[in-house]
Amino acid sequence: MAEIKFKCSECDFSFIDKNLIFYINSNLEDLESILNSSSADLELIETILNKESSDEMTKSLISGFLYENYCPHCKKLIRTYVPEANELFNQDEIKKILTKEISKNSFDENTFKILFFDFKKTLYRDRRNILENNNCPNCNNEMSLVISEKTPCPECGASLKEEF
Ligand SMILES: [Zn+2]
Ligand SMILES: [Zn+2]
């Protein structure tokens, strides 16, 4: 899975789009106690998608895809979690567990978003459409949740170029 490097055409800003995924593991057995657990019993892992992590995703309680981009308005790094459909938990439960886990790792609670759409049944084009036409959880302005050449540089507003 390729990483894509974006570099600003004007300033020093650069960003690597890493194809990230996440999954949650737990040492608890029954679902009720997972839902109500203190987060010490759960572990949120964020890593690059490869064969190994893809297997871990399959074995985990909750897993999905992770996107990053800078909001062009408030300049914060916004992380978007898209959980995969899950037979163990419904969306509210996934949201509750995930929010607790993300908050544990993150300094600012307004810099992440949890989006639900059926990843496997959603065409790439439609997925990009949802992600690109979205809004910032921090300042509420329109932003793309994924970085691309269409996104302005978060430092100076100039255009970004893909580097190979
Ligand atoms: Zn720049
Ligand atoms: Zn913002």
Question: What are the beta bridge partners of residue 45?
Answer: 23
Each residue's pLDDT tens digit, 49-86:
999 999 999 999 999 999 999 998 998 999 999 999 88
Structural domain spans, the chain: 4-163
Using CA atoms, how far apart are residues 99 and 84, in angstroms rounded to an integer?
15
Residue 152 CA, ligand 1 centroid: distance in Å: 8
Banded model confidence at residue 131, pLDDT cuts 50, 70, 90? very high
Banded model confidence at residue 38, pLDDT cuts 50, 70, 90? low
Residue 76 CA, ligand 2 centroid: distance in Å: 6
Residue 76 CA, ligand 1 centroid: distance in Å: 15
Q: Among 57-66, 115-124, 142-151, 154-163, whose mean pLDDT is lowest? A: 115-124
163, with CB counted inside 10 A (0-12, 13-18, 19+), is exposed
Average pLDDT over residues 81-97: 92
Q: What is the DSSP letter of 40?
A: G
Q: In this structure, are strands 62-70 and 42-48 parallel, antiparallel, or unpaired?
A: unpaired
Reference 46, options 26, 18, 66; nearest CA is 66
Q: In the numeric block, which tokens belong to residue 125?
A: 């084009």
Residue 71 CA, ligand 1 centroid: distance in Å: 13
Instruction: Please list, in sequence order, all residues whose beta carbon lies within 8 angstroms of the beta carbon of residue 107, skipping any fewer than 6 positions away.
Output: none
**19 in Cβ contact with 53 (< 8 Å):** no
